Chain A
Amino acid sequence: MENILSLLIWIPIMGAIIVAFLPRDNENLVRYISAAITGLEFIVAIVLWRAFDPVNGSMQFMERYEWIPSLNISYILGVDGLSLPMVLLTAMLFFIGVFVSWNIKKAVKGYFALYLLLNAGVLGVFLSLDFFLFYIFWEVMLLPMYFLIGMWGGPQREYAAIKFFLYTLFGSVLMLIGILGLYFTCGKTFDILLIMERAPEALNGVLWWGMSAAKVIWVLLFIGFAIKVPVFPFHTWLPLAHVEAPTAISVLLAGILLKLGVYGIIRVNYGIMPDQVYWFAGGLAFLGLVNVIWGGLCALAQTDLKKLVAYSSINHMGYSLIGIAAVVAAGEMNGGDLKAAQAGLSGAVFQMFNHGTISAMLFILVGVVYERAHHRDIDGFGGLASQMPIYTGITALAFFAGLGLPGFSGFVSEAMCFIGAFPVFKAIVVLSTIGILLNAAYFLWAFQRVFFGELNEKYKDMKEINGMELFTVIPLAIITLFFGIYPGPYLDLIKATMDQIIEKIAFAASYGIM
């Protein structure tokens, strides 16, 4: 139990090494071993969840080892209510992703070795509490992703991979500068928790080239994370990367990697510079609005089903941004409205998880039809409902979940984001409710074109969704429905941590060093 977090990170790394040494020609062995490793990983994550104390909002299961003492670099891991759901989501989606990748034929060994390395990188980011370690995992994540898109992707894979790589690299360079800025101002340490303690005082009144150091660092870090979210105008890598990536990788991109952005903003920006939240929240909410509307309009215009789902991610992450901006309601200048702050922040963190499950479902389902028809042109189908009733039913479910229908988890989190942000950002929230119309429009219109009407003659022999594919979607559907009907268990898990963050930000308003 003591080193359970290290276990989570090192299982997939060891797995990647094992897979790399397996015989090249036994592809099924590679698949089974990968499934076993991610399965084990998932079990460990569940054990962690059961052992986690939701009443305690602070870091739990912390591990701390000296690493490079001369530079004050340590190996620090920890988990709290913000990261635990993400860890669970990661472990689950990577496990499911192995089965989504089952039909990968090309260089299976290499694929799964990189896949497991990616898994370790993602978990490392969620768990590390030392900036140096955080940054290393951030970069570890980038490389496997580059190869997974660039080698196993669609026709434009190389272009997509390099674009993804450069975009993210650009972000991480800015992030690195921001981290170094914190390192030097906060007494030469990379320890995130320590920096959180020291930063408000250390950064107070520090000017760099006439600008507040805190604001400069905030912006640098924010851009690094914003590219991952992705926040408009840093979003154009996403449709391309999603469309070109193999199905399982799109699932992971949308399901988990996008969450790193919002996670980073909450953990790093909010955690270290709570006073600056007040300065930036308006912009954040506005960017959220742009994401919602821009993403929604773009999705409406798509003819490629996968690109539509990709743009829907931009649209959905916008709700999350609006939600996290809502914490400023807790500040005394906004009347100390804790209700709104709780609704907004918890809603945003809930939305991260829900978008993870829902978009994963959507990408898997797009993959199912692509596997059979070898194209994703929305207008190139027609009438599939009469040919594939089960597939149609599940896709309808996923689409309805995506358009925020009550009864599905997405509704609860979107509503909470809106309700939370409303008292402070009335105009922005009112405008962004147009997003829920856009959501419905692009999903239903696409649904009609693919499934309704007379059956397209070309697809009268199209095979129904098979057992393996169902196995990958149904758990996600059940989770989405469960949290839609009864969100309590999720919200109870994150509540204590959210309250700590809100308290900190509310307190920051009172010492007013804006």
Chain B
Amino acid sequence: MLFWLIAEIIKILIVFAGLLLSAAYLTLLERKIAARIQNRMGPMEAGFHGLLQPIADGIKLFFKEDIIPTEANKFLFILAPIIVVIPALSTFAVIPFGAPVKILGHIVPLQITDVNIGVLFILALTSLGVYGVVIGGWASNSKYSLLGGIRTAAQMVSYEIPLVLSIIGVIMIAGDLSLSKIVSEQSHIWFVVYQPVGFIIYLIASTAEMNRVPFDIGEAEGELVAGFHTEYSSMEFAFYFIGEYAQMVVNSAVIVTLFLGGWQGPLLPSFVWFIIKVFFVILIYLWLRWTYPRLRYDELMDFGWKFLLPLALANIIVTGFIMIILKG
């Protein structure tokens, strides 16, 4: 009993530290990749090739003056960034990040908790992120923040639907909502082979979920200053940032688990495979960001409702028919 408790705590600490660290270093990765795509060098001063830049940024943000607008709703203003971060971090609880290991005669699964409704848990928590954005936008009492919050809410709610529907194909094939089961189902062939359309829809819809370019109308800097976090400064702003990047790691991990075979891979240890795959998916997100311009509001809504949603529905129907034909 004590062994399990200690094992769980260690796992939680590793995941928590890993997520925060990767969120911090994703900012550097993003800047470096943006720089290389634009033929620049990116941060080079702090440490070797800018390796200490995230730490310098963190220290700077920590010591910045904490400005709260006088007309703002103080309680909600401080609460909003926390609401963004907590679901992003806790989503990782159900993601298996390695094959079960044997320690002192016990088999420890490398997953904080294996709930049998893992997919549902992930979907429920990722949709909570919209509250942080909406509350932050409203509590700031600024027109830019409010408009950013409204736009982001509309966008996140619309893209939630194709996001959920794109996963259903995977669930139908795997026949289970538990993520560890879904990973073990992919030991022979990755689900991306069976569900290429679902994979692409999930990739696009999750980009919109995270408010990343090309779907960043919520913080369109040309129109809304910085959208819902216009009035935020210091650590509250850093929390929004951490939340955004942690969400990126989590979304990549979900994609890896659902479509790319999770931690499965030859030769290397399982958690290394998991990290490699997550890194690869993150690179795709960054690549998309620095390639495409922002969509207009109506284009965004058209794309979500008139293209992704029918495509996701068609994907489910086609998957169902093929499964029936193959079985019968």
Whether A and B are associated in the same complex: the answer reads no
Q: Which B residues contact A (CB, under 8 angstroms)? A: none
